[in-house]
């Protein structure tokens, strides 16, 4: 029996034999604690064990790679002592939480390097983030990118020093005095905001001490050499524009140098694809100080936007949706009933009409609810799928605005599905299928997160549990892998978020499915069931694109402005070799126009090579070169982004082939030139 149990783990066998020898010498040994590992196996210990010691017991190699631990589902420091039966998982840099711990430690190393080089610098906060970490600081003399190399060199020294990272605690009062003594006013303010009697944790490494909850690596050496300071920016203390502007140092760190190099390559590629730069170059959109965060779409940008909206209407008509439009401004009473006034007021623009409070809608949901409530409903009417391309406004802080990615006004491709409880799973499956169709068309891969009840929420525990279980059940039946994102649901219900991955590996959260038991209750929505009695419908909120504006920004960067022909604002550019063939060029364009193909004629008196290069720079899918031979034969010389010179084609043949490509929404260009 023993042989079968331990055959795969010689280390465990040795430990077992050691225990049995101890038992033979000392008599019966009592096991104090059982630790259940990620693979379901169980380890038994006679005493409390720290997470790092458990890792060492499992494997010295695992201990060297360990960044943090997970005890009973909670991410903890490696120094955390496990004192009773528990499930334990050792997290490495391959795990998101483990990588976050590595980056968090790297942020302390960076802060220590800054303090060595600039002793008067004041430290604010330095968390890990999705792509790395940052630290907000106050400097007497402004920092520039020229300082990065010096700071990185000092960071390398600190890593080489192999400083032990140690955790200690102080009472709130002692912690305040401690940070005042170190002349760190921002840390003092953070501690003062904590409740009295709170125990405050710190981490030290050499001469450097920082206020921090952790988790952290065991030594500065464990940070390794794969880190880099990426950029700096201004950041208001605590995100409040009324506070002092601090310097935010952005950086990143990885477990391996090749991972860092791959990330840097991706970021360099991202700079080339920046939608703000391409949007200006391609004449798609603009921003103006007259309306910060309120985008202006230019003619070509409107073609792109309307083409997307036409596609949205096409797929939703097929999926059984009806479309409505609801007012942009609605009175306060509505927003109080929906819960937005209490839970979202700080993000809403308000006004007064006839001495009554109104709000510009930040979401379309309450308007959709009023549409449902506008007439009696029967179970025969359900599910009712109501779509809306609604213009919404949300107050975003000026420092958070970013091109089309973060704006104050945007079109949300909302839909609200009203249904019976029995229809929940099938409707969720239908939405998932729709989202999958859209993302696949654009070449996006995606992963799914299930977000659960946030702290600021409304509704009973029973309703939340029922809604969350319904989403889980639908995902399980679809066999769709997902991770649970605790506490990130909407205030009215849990949600499924779709995170798409673009062609250079970046992740964007776009599609979402939110299950809502609350609004139907708050608005007393009803339907007559098959039993003749009144029942309350269940509501789904969902978007596919999310924000149309943001999705356009993502598409610009995903395709580097080189859109598939069906989406391209200008699909064909006709290029006459000289002015002699201008009439023929315009006759070709007329045929394209009559066929519904978006085209332009380059009427400039430039050499044909220059015209071709300009068309390529403008990301035009097709160029038609026309001269004497083409005019005589009724043909065009076709050049495409996908294949270059495609030779001469009859105009009608080219039109037919292009219309087919547009109809099928084929993407001949898999990557930008």
CA distance 592 to 621: 14
416 is catalytic: yes
- Which residue in 416, 453, 550, 611 is the catalytic one? 416
Catalytic-residue membership of 310:
no
**Rounded Cα distance, 384 and 368, in Å:** 11
Is cis: bond before 40, omega within 30 of 0? Answer: no
Characterize 595-634 residue by residue with b for buried, 16 or more Cβ atoms within 10 angstroms of its Cβ, and e for exposed: eebbbbbbeeeeebeebbebbeebbbbbbbbbbeebbeee
Looking at the DSSP bridge assignments, the partners of residue 236 are 245
Choosing from 79, 541, 542, 573, the catalytic residue is 541
Pairing assessment for the beta strands 409-419 and 538-547 based on DSSP bridges: antiparallel
The separation between CA 265 and the C-alpha centre of its own chain, rounded to angstroms, equals: 20
Instruction: Enter the tokens of residue 188.
Output: 């003092």
Cis bond upstream, residue 65 (ω within 30): no
Determine which one of 112, 205, 406, 412 is catalytic: 412
Beta bridge partners of 414: 388, 543
**Alpha-carbon distances, residue 595 vs 24, 329, 551 (angstroms):** 92, 41, 28
Concatenated DSSP letters of 123-176? E----EETTEEEEEEE-SS---GGGHHHHHHHHHHHHHHTPBEEEEEEEHHHHH
Backbone angles phi, psi at 288, to 5 degrees: -140, 145
Pairing of β 538-547 and β 507-516? antiparallel
The one-character DSSP state at 536 is: P
Task: Please give the full DSSP string across 386-404, using - where no structure is assigned.
Answer: EEEEEEEE----GGG-BTT
- 414 as an active site residue: the answer is yes
Active site residue 343: no
- Residue 370 CA to chain centroid, in angstroms? 31
Beta bridge partners of 417: 385, 540
Catalytic residue among 79, 216, 316, 394: 394
* 165-196 burial code (b ≥16 CB/10 A, e <16): bebeebebeebbebbeebebebbbebbeeeee
**Residue 430 CA neighbour count, 13 Å, CB half:** 20
> Cα–chain-centroid distance for residue 337?
30
The one catalytic residue in 67, 212, 365, 503 is 365
Contact present, 568 and 666 (Cβ < 8 Å): no
Which residue, chain included where needed, has tokens 């969720």? 428
User: Active site includes 136?
Assistant: no
Cβ-contact 389, 413 below 8 angstroms: yes
Secondary structure letter of residue 531 according to DSSP: T
| Bridge partners of residue 543, in order along the sequence | 414, 512
| Active-site hit among 495, 506, 522, 639 | 495
Give the C-alpha separation, 7 to 647, whole Å: 68
Active site residues: 365, 394, 412, 414, 416, 495, 541
């Amino acid at each position: 029996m023993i042989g079968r149990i331990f055959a795969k783990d010689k280390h465990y066998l040795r430990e077992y034999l050691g225990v049995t020898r101890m038992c033979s010498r000392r008599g019966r040994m009592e096991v104090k604690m059982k630790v259940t590992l990620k693979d379901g196996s169980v380890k038994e210990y006679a005493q409390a064990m720290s997470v790092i010691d458990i890792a060492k017991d499992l494997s010295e190699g695992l201990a060297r790679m360990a960044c943090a631990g997970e005890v009973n589902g909670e991410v903890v420091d490696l120094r955390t002592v496990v004192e009773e039966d528990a499930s334990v998982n050792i997290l490495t840099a391959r795990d998101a939480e483990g990588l976050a711990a590595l980056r968090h430690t790297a942020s302390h190393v960076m802060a220590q390097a800054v303090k060595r080089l600039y002793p008067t610098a004041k430290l604010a906060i330095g968390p890990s983030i999705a792509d790395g970490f940052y630290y907000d600081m106050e400097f007497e003399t402004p920092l520039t990118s020229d300082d990065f190399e010096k700071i990185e060199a000092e960071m390398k020294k600190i890593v080489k020093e192999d400083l032990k990272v140690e955790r200690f605690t102080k009472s709130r009062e002692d912690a305040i005095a401690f940070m005042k003594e170190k002349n760190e006013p921002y840390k003092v303010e953070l501690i003062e905001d904590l409740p009295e009697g709170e125990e405050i944790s710190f981490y030290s490494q050499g001469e450097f001490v920082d206020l921090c909850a952790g988790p952290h690596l065991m030594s500065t050496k464990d940070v390794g050499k794969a880190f880099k300071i990426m950029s700096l920016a201004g950041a208001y203390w605590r995100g409040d524009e009324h506070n002092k502007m601090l310097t935010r140092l952005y950086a990143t760190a990885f477990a391996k140098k090749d991972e860092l190099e791959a990330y840097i390559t991706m970021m360099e590629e991202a700079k080339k694809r920046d939608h703000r730069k391409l949007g200006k170059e391609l004449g798609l959109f603009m921003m103006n100080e007259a309306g910060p965060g309120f985008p202006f779409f230019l003619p070509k940008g409107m073609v792109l936007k309307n083409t997307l909206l036409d596609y949205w209407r096409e797929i939703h008509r097929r999926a059984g949706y009806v479309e409505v439009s609801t007012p942009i401004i609605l009175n306060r009473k509505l927003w109080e009933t929906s819960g937005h006034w209490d839970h979202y007021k700080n993000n809403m623009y308000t006004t007064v009409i006839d001495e009554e409070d109104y709000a510009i809608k930040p979401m379309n949901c309450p308007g959709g609810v009023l549409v449902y409530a506008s007439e009696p409903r029967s179970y025969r009417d359900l599910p009712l799928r109501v779509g809306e391309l609604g213009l919404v406004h949300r107050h975003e802080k000026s420092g958070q605005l970013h091109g089309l990615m973060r704006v104050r006004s945007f079109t949300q491709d909302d839909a609200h599905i009203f249904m019976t409880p029995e229809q929940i799973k099938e409707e969720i499956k239908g939405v998932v299928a729709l989202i999958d169709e859209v993302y696949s068309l654009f070449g996006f891969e995606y992963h799914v997160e299930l977000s659960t009840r946030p702290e600021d929420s409304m509704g009973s525990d029973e309703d939340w549990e029922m809604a969350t279980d319904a989403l889980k059940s639908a995902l399980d039946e679809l066999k769709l892998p997902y991770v649970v994102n605790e506490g990130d649901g909407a205030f009215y219900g849990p949600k499924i978020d779709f995170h798409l991955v673009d062609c250079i590996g970046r992740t964007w959260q776009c599609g979402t499915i939110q299950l809502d038991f609350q609004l139907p209750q708050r608005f007393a929505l009803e339907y007559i069931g098959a039993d003749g009695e009144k029942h309350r419908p269940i509501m789904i909120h969902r978007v596919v694109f999310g924000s149309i504006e943001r999705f356009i920004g993502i598409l610009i960067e995903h395709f580097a402005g080189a859109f598939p022909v069906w989406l391209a604002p200008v699909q064909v550019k006709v290029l006459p070799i000289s002015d002699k063939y201008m009439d023929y060029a315009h006759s070709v364009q007329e045929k394209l126009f009559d066929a519904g193909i978006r085209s332009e004629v380059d009427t400039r008196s430039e050499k044909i090579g220059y015209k071709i290069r300009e068309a390529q720079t403008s990301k035009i899918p097709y160029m038609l070169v026309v001269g004497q031979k083409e005019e005589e034969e009724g043909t065009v010389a076709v050049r495409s982004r996908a294949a270059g010179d495609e030779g001469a084609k009859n105009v009608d043949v080219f039109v037919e082939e292009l219309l087919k490509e547009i109809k099928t929404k084929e993407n001949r260009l898999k990557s930008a030139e």
